[in-house]
Structure 1
Amino acid sequence: MGSDPHTEFLLGLLGISGKILRESVIDEKYITDRILALEHCKDKDTAVKTAKTIIFLGFQEPTEIPSSCKSPFEVTCLRMEEKLAYSKTEQDMVLLHHEVVVVTQTTMLKLIDRHSWQWEGQRMGKPPWPWLLQ
């Protein structure tokens, strides 16, 4: 990347080689049409949103790319840092949302002894293991 301006970077992403076009040529419609022509997006609405994002990030602006940016991802991250940074009057806020889900399980066991009495009903008030007392 070196010291190439963002415009050259954008033109490279849009598959345009040669001289840099004037800024007036690189507008939202031009970028949208180019994205659709290269089949980066098949849906026009998505292409329009992508073009708006490219313009918001300022890839069509004639600014220099620092030599520390070695990939398109790093250039995009740098532009996002610059565009989304807080001003002196703004403050950062962290909002945490925790959702705790507890799955409970209820099991009811009905034991029937050899006389078809319910085990709980027959043993109510009696030692649970009568054969131990013998």
Structure 2
Amino acid sequence: MAHTPFGYEIVDGKIEIHAIEAEQFKLLIQSYLSGKSLANAARDSGINRSHGVITRILTNERYLGNAIFPGLISKEQFEQLKEERFKRAKKLGRLNRTKAEETFTPNFTFTIGKVENKYDNPIKQAEYVYSLIKEEVT
């Protein structure tokens, strides 16, 4: 495994809950759900990670538990986190923001001359046809 997620550790080849990080994780959830910002909740819980990493931690379904990872959070808490993140994003106007679609118009065109020669060798034929392609700056 390339990376062990926050809150877990590998012991004797098995993934187990890292006691200290699990407590920090639970404190992070409580702080965030109590209304603290992501950065303040992370700081108060003692997790020194970037904003993006904290977001990935809070949105990672792996923490619900599966065949490999023991659960660190209940389904109800996970849903509360999802609702809280949605509520905050909506309040900040971060929902349904779309970028203006970027368009690209090349300033050149390709043309091909008339194919007059035929070769039995397909490689030679391809080389010939490709040699007929001309680029014109528009």
TM over 0.5: no
Which of structures 1 and 2 has the larger relative contact order (alpha carbons within 8 angstroms, sep 6+)?
Answer: 1
The structure that is helix-richer by fraction is: 2
> What is the TM-score normalised by the length of structure 2?
0.26
> What is the TM-score normalised by the length of structure 1?
0.26
| Structure ID, larger Rg | 1
